[in-house]
């Protein structure tokens, strides 16, 4: 349980430190001449970052569960096993921030655009309902939520509910499946998703500038990275709805490999040269003026 989560979180954090020290020397300028070394740096950065984020969050979440008896949403769920952009950004990568962006950006934007493009008789935006059927009494309990994030959270933790909960069934209140929505609703959802990615890009630019003011200058690469992934996510969603047979015919392992290739190819925007020269991961993982090899400057 919780102790196991904390233990493996500490191991992941230590792994990120060793990866940063061994694979990612602080001076990155020497890697600019060779193509193989260039990609090695970005792949190493990605592996180290995932280990750092997964480990840190697991330790904090495990401690909260252990000492405060409070449930915590899983932050990172093996993002390298994602089968596509939606699986990666919605279910596996930084889910607490995704939940925040969903509530503060996606839903308000969708509501605003729905009102702008609504017909003369406006209809409220669809809500999602989770149905819990109790095997013992046959009683049905309906829980309505604003969006898929909350529904995913309750579905994920359904196994922790009493044994009387037999199964979970999800449906949309407007009677239309989410995967089959198109036309005006699809356009509204696509623009709302793009707004969330753009806001995330601005947030990352501000985080880098605030955290490394003396070593980082604004180049817009973080914003470009998240905007590009917003376009990829939206386009993939539209294509999967337009060609469902083609999407389902691709094997799962092939989708995982293809998505990891996309992440690696676009990673130079996220791990851009200013970020590398700032030594971002070194300053997050390693103590000041120290290294995991035990050599510290006086």
pLDDT of residue 84: 95
Would you say 80 and 60 are in contact if contact means Cβ atoms under 8 Å apart?
Answer: no
Same-domain pairing of 164 and 199 = no
Residue 283 — left, alpha, or beta (φ > 0 → left; ψ -120 to 50 → alpha)?
Answer: alpha
Number of domains in the chain: 2
Spatial distance between the Cα atoms of 77 and 233, rounded to a whole number of angstroms: 19
Is residue 122 one of the residues assigned to a domain? no
Same-domain pairing of 96 and 201 = yes
Going from the C-alpha of 122 to that of each of 116, 117, 173, the distances in angstroms are: 10, 9, 16
Is residue 121 one of the residues assigned to a domain? no
Is residue 208 one of the residues assigned to a domain? yes
pLDDT tier, 258 (very low <50, low <70, confident <90, very high otherwise): very high
Q: Which of 136, 155, 173 delimits the end of a domain? A: 173
Same-domain pairing of 270 and 219 = yes
Residue 73: closest CA among 46, 104, 95, 49? 95
Spatial distance between the Cα atoms of 188 and 122, rounded to a whole number of angstroms: 14
Residue 279 — left, alpha, or beta (φ > 0 → left; ψ -120 to 50 → alpha)?
Answer: left
Q: How does pLDDT run across 143-188, given as a tens digit for each residue?
A: 434 344 444 443 444 444 444 444 434 444 333 344 344 566 788 9
Maximal C-alpha separation, the chain: 72
Residue 112: closest CA among 99, 122, 100? 122
The DSSP secondary-structure symbol of 159 reads: G
Contacts of 15 (CB under 8 A, 6+ apart): 51, 55
Full residue range of the structural domain in which residue 151 is found: 127-173
Same-domain pairing of 7 and 151 = no
Does the structure show a pLDDT above 60 at 1?
A: yes
Q: pTM higher than 0.85 for the full model? A: no
pLDDT of residue 83: 94
> What 3-state class would DSSP assign to 140?
strand
Same-domain pairing of 135 and 186 = no
Same-domain pairing of 13 and 160 = no
pLDDT tier, 293 (very low <50, low <70, confident <90, very high otherwise): very low
pLDDT of residue 212: 67
Same-domain pairing of 152 and 191 = no
Is residue 154 one of the residues assigned to a domain? yes
Going from the C-alpha of 152 to that of each of 66, 102, 187, 197, 297, the distances in angstroms are: 23, 13, 23, 20, 48
For residue 142, the cross-strand partners are 131
Sign of CA dihedral 188, 106, 229, 182: negative
Same-domain pairing of 168 and 191 = no
Which range has highest mean pLDDT (8-12, 49-53, 90-94, 219-223)?
Answer: 90-94
Q: Which of 173, 197, 228 delimits the end of a domain? A: 173
Same-domain pairing of 92 and 68 = yes
* Cα dihedral: 117, 119, 121, 124 (round 10): -40
């Amino acid at each position: 349980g919780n102790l196991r989560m904390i233990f493996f979180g500490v191991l992941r954090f230590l792994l990120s430190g060793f990866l940063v020290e061994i694979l990612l020397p602080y001076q990155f300028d020497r890697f600019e001449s060779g193509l193989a070394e260039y990609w090695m740096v970005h792949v190493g950065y990605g592996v180290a970052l995932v280990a750092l984020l997964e480990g840190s969050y697991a330790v904090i979440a495990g401690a909260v569960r252990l000492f405060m008896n409070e449930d915590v949403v899983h932050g990172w769920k093996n993002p390298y096993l994602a089968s596509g952009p939606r699986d990666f950004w919605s279910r596996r990568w930084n889910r607490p921030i995704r939940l925040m962006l969903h509530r503060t950006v996606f839903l308000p934007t969708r509501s605003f655009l729905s009102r702008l493009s609504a017909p003369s008789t406006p209809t409220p935006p669809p809500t999602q309902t989770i149905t819990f059927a109790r095997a013992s009494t046959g009683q049905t309990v309906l829980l309505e939520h604003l969006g898929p994030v909350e529904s995913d959270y309750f579905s994920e933790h359904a196994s922790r509910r009493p044994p009387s909960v037999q199964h979970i069934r999800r449906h949309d209140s407007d009677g239309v499946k989410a995967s089959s929505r198109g036309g005006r609703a699809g356009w509204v959802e696509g623009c709302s998703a793009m707004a969330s990615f753009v806001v995330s890009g601005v947030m990352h630019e501000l985080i880098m500038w605030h955290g490394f003011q003396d070593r980082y200058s604004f180049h817009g690469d973080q914003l470009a990275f998240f905007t590009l992934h917003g376009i990829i996510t939206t386009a993939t969603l539209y294509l999967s709805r337009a060609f469902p047979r083609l999407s389902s015919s691709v094997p799962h392992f092939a989708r995982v490999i293809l998505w990891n290739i996309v992440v690696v190819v676009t990673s130079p925007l996220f791990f851009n040269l200013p970020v590398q020269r700032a030594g971002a991961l070194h300053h997050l993982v390693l103590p000041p003026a120290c290294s995991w090899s035990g050599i510290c400057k006086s």
